[in-house]
């Protein structure tokens, strides 16, 4: 660095060009490393269901013994959603099991016995898990098929939006499936008979 007439000047030499290359290489390394994706396995966490959301009269279910199964789901681990550089992996079987556990918890709260040898059965199947990302929101989509032991089948698409993450979107969708099951008059009548 030279000082001439009160103004500092930097002379461009070999040292400066080497520093410029080092900074450029560091920037490139950080950029490439920062752009790599991060894989996560989906892990279910229950959402509390407000009893106000259950519009059906479920008092007839008290004391019943019900069996919940998740047969017929695909166990293959696939990408079920992504948010920014994060990719989330899970399976239809994993989401069906989450539905089964959430439903079991809710039924136990209603004094229903959930057991593998129940006289009333529900089989939960989940297919087509996917997410879409909007402005400040993640929406999880899945298709549910609930087969009651009396032959009744409830089949419909479900979705849930959250300003959070992919797992939160799926956890909310799982809770909405349970609300849908407990609000279906034919399922409630079957389980309570």
C-alpha to C-alpha distances, 81 to 11, 47, 74, 130, nearest whole angstrom: 53, 19, 17, 6
pTM above 0.85, yes or no: no
Q: pLDDT band at 118, cuts 50/70/90? A: confident
Q: pLDDT band at 157, cuts 50/70/90? A: very high
153 touches 181 (CB < 8 A): no
Closest CA to 101 of 92, 114, 89: 114
Domain boundaries, the chain: 2-34, 38-192
Strand partners of residue 87: 39, 82
Q: What is the structure's pLDDT at 115?
A: 86
Q: What is the structure's pLDDT at 28?
A: 58
What CATH superfamily classification does 38-192 receive? Answer: ABC-type transport auxiliary lipoprotein component (3.40.50.10610)
By CB atoms closer than 10 A (0-12, 13-18, 19+), residue 189 is middle
Please, what is the end-to-end C-alpha distance for the chain in angstroms?
Answer: 91
Reading phi first (left if > 0) and then psi (alpha if -120 to 50, else beta), residue 8 is in: beta
Q: What is the structure's pLDDT at 134?
A: 84
Q: pLDDT band at 36, cuts 50/70/90? A: low
- Distance of alpha carbon 27 from alpha carbon 32, whole angstroms: 9
Q: What is the structure's pLDDT at 173?
A: 94
More confident residue, 102 or 115: 102
Mean pLDDT of 160-172: 90
Q: What is the structure's pLDDT at 29?
A: 61
In this structure, the strands spanning 113-114 and 38-41 are unpaired
């Amino acid at each position: 660095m030279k000082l001439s007439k009160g103004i500092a000047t930097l002379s461009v030499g070999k040292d400066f060009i080497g520093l410029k290359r080092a900074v450029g290489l560091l920037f490139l390394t950080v950029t490439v490393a920062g752009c790599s994706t991060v894989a996560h396995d989906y892990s279910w966490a229950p959402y509390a269901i407000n009893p106000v959301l259950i519009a059906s009269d479920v008092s007839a279910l008290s004391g019943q013994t019900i069996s919940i199964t998740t047969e017929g789901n695909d166990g293959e681990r696939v990408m079920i959603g992504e948010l920014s550089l994060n990719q989330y992996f899970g399976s239809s079987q994993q989401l069906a099991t989450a539905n089964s556990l959430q439903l079991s918890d809710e039924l136990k709260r209603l004094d229903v016995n959930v057991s593998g040898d129940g006289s009333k059965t529900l089989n939960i199947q989940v297919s087509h898990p996917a997410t879409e990302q909007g402005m400040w929101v993640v929406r999880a989509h899945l298709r549910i098929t609930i087969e009651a032991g009396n032959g009744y089948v409830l089949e419909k698409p479900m979705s849930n939006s959250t300003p959070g993450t992919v797992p939160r979107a799926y956890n909310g969708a799982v809770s909405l499936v349970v609300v849908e099951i407990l609000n279906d008059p034919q399922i409630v009548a079957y389980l309570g008979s």
